[in-house]
């Protein structure tokens, strides 16, 4: 498999495919004309890549780029990601990223909200201490 990408990325993909037991002979590859933006270039060339992994039945269609060789690489990478998420489940990098986002979006507990407000209050007190001292006018008391 040769793609118009860096050898490092290509080797990384090949290693991941070997580790998961994905072989080129198990993949059906077809080329389709892309749809959407691109005009005459897209209408003339078959740059969209369709992959089907026979053992798992996973189908991938990739038309992110206007170049067929790059779409071939990206489609294989998506296929490997999907198979990895199926095999590894919650341990896969994609699943961990989803869980991280879910934790970030989760509402804070009452105790956590109070802690954040307390820290904000302490910070504002510190900032008040940094303010310049105002000149005090002495009044003559006669």
The confidence score (pLDDT) of residue 98 equals 86
Q: Provide the residue ranges of all domains of the chain, joining segments of one domain with +.
A: 7-91, 98-128
Both tokens of 87, joined, read 């095999």
> HEC profile for the chain?
CCCCCCHHHHHHHHHHHHHHCCCHHHEEEEEECCCCCCCHHHHHCCCEEEEEECCCCEEEEECCCCCHHHHHHHHHHHHHHHHHHHHHHHHCHHHHHHHHHHHHHCCCCHHHHHHHHHHHHHHHHHHHHHCCCCCCCCCCCC
The confidence score (pLDDT) of residue 139 equals 55
DSSP bridge partners of 59: 52
pTM: 0.63
Q: pLDDT per position in the chain (142 positions), as tens?
A: 667 788 899 899 999 999 989 999 999 999 988 777 767 777 788 889 999 999 989 999 998 888 888 999 999 999 998 988 888 776 777 778 888 999 988 888 899 999 999 999 999 999 988 888 776 565 555 5
- In CATH, the architecture of 7-91 is 2-Layer Sandwich (3.30)
Angle subtended at Cα 134 by Cα 128 and Cα 135, rounded to the nearest 5 degrees? 165
The confidence score (pLDDT) of residue 68 equals 87
**CA distance linking residue 67 with residue 77, whole number of Å:** 16
């Amino acid at each position: 498999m040769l793609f118009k990408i860096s050898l490092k990325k290509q080797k990384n993909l090949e290693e991941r495919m070997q580790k998961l037991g994905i072989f080129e002979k198990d993949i059906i590859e077809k080329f389709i004309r892309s749809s959407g933006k691109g005009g005459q270039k897209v209408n003339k060339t078959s740059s969209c890549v369709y992959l089907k992994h026979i053992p798992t039945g996973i189908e991938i269609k990739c038309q992110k780029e206007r170049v067929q060789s790059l779409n071939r690489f990206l489609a294989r990478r998506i296929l490997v990601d999907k198979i990895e998420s199926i095999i590894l489940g919650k341990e896969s990098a994609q699943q961990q990223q989803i869980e991280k986002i879910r934790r970030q979006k989760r509402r804070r507990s009452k105790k956590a909200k109070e802690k954040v407000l307390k820290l904000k209050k302490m910070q504002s007190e510190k900032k008040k201490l940094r303010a310049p001292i105002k000149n005090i006018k002495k009044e003559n008391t006669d």
